[in-house]
Amino acid sequence: MRNRQTHTSLPLVIFALMCLCPPLSASDKGREQHWEQLIRDSAVGESLGLATPEGDRFLALYTPSVGEPQGAIILAHGMGVHPDWPDVIQPLRVNLPRSGWATLSLQMPVADRHAPYSEYQQLFGEVPGRINAAIAFLKEKGIYNIVLGGHSMGAAMALSYLAENPDKSVRAFLAIGLSAAPADPNPGWIETLQVPTLDLFGERDTRWVMSTSASRLAAALRGGNPDYRQLLVPGADHFFRGLDDALVTRVRSWLARVAPGSEVPKDRTRVVNR
């Protein structure tokens, strides 16, 4: 009887262990490969194959700075797209290097094409590995003044990284079109931020971004972050269509303020500029 019990319980033990061991990647790798094949040979900059310690390989686009180096900004794109997406990401990654800021745009985890917003919660656990790999790459190039930025879902993923995996290598955080929608794993993450933060959004942004701007500001105030700033761009929608130059100009100006050796004017923080 004892041997029979041991034998019949073994499959249950194996099943339990399988449940405890998540797959290498929950991201839709076929979709990632599709995006890579689409943009790898045509995108401006250097196409890289970075990998996490766990062996999760992903595409990254690196564009070195021109002129006097200022640092580098890591960029995380929005939901389900790629690191050379023409809205928001491409204008920043191509134009900021002209001001001395190298850019490293990452392929973020993506769900199935028809997956609802809520399914992206399952992918947040893959974000730290990719951002850590990006930071390691920049440090190998001798770049230590690193800013982390993202648009829409990418902003939420980057914020989750900073909140749950504090890294002193990241000197500032750029969030473009960030919401605190109920589907987000933890809208209170902003409260944990203690690095200079620019919460940038458009006057005609999505309902979730606009309706949560006050709660995001309140969270930053509760967290005591003196260098949190909200900036509303007149006329801009969620994708800053037709306003690429305005987007780049505002981000460039903010980067100049938070660069080493410069001070963030205290009277310009915690204010929504209209």
Count the neighbouring beta carbons within 10 Å of the beta carbon of residue 248.
19
Residues 147 and 96 sit within 8 Å (Cβ to Cβ): no
Residues 243 and 235 sit within 8 Å (Cβ to Cβ): yes
d(CA 264, CA 258): 6
The pTM is what? 0.84
Which stretches of 107-258 are assigned E, i.e. beta strand?
A: 146-151, 170-176, 197-204, 228-237
Total residues found in the chain within this entry? 274
Amino acid identity at 54: E
> Of the candidates 31, 164, 195, 207, which has an alpha carbon nearest to the alpha carbon of residue 107?
31
Task: Check whether 10 has a pLDDT greater than 80.
Answer: no
**Strand, helix or coil for residue 66:** coil
End-to-end CA distance of the chain: 77
d(CA 238, CA 152): 8
Query: Sheet of 71-76: strands edge to edge?
Result: 46-51, 57-63, 101-106, 71-76, 146-151, 170-176, 197-204, 228-237, 272-273
Q: What confidence tier does 5 reach under pLDDT thresholds 50, 70, 90?
A: very low
**pLDDT tens digit sequence for 136-190:** 999 999 999 999 999 999 999 999 999 988 778 999 999 999 986 655 556 578 9
Q: What confidence tier does 42 reach under pLDDT thresholds 50, 70, 90?
A: confident
Task: Check whether 263 has a pLDDT greater than 70.
Answer: no
The pLDDT of residue 252: 96
Q: Mean pLDDT for the chain? A: 84
The pLDDT of residue 116: 78
- Average pLDDT estimate for 195-212: 95
Residues 110 and 80 sit within 8 Å (Cβ to Cβ): yes
Written as six digits, the tokens of 17 are: 């262990």
Pairing of strands 146-151, 170-176: parallel
The pLDDT of residue 8: 41
d(CA 228, CA 17): 43
Tell the residue number behind the tokens 């931020």, with chain if given: 193
d(CA 183, CA 169): 29
Least confident window among 19-28, 32-41, 74-83, 248-257: 19-28
CATH of domain 27-273: 3.40.50.1820
The pLDDT of residue 210: 94
For the ranges 38-42, 45-49, 201-205, the maximum mean pLDDT occurs at: 201-205
Q: Give the domain ranges of the chain.
A: 27-273
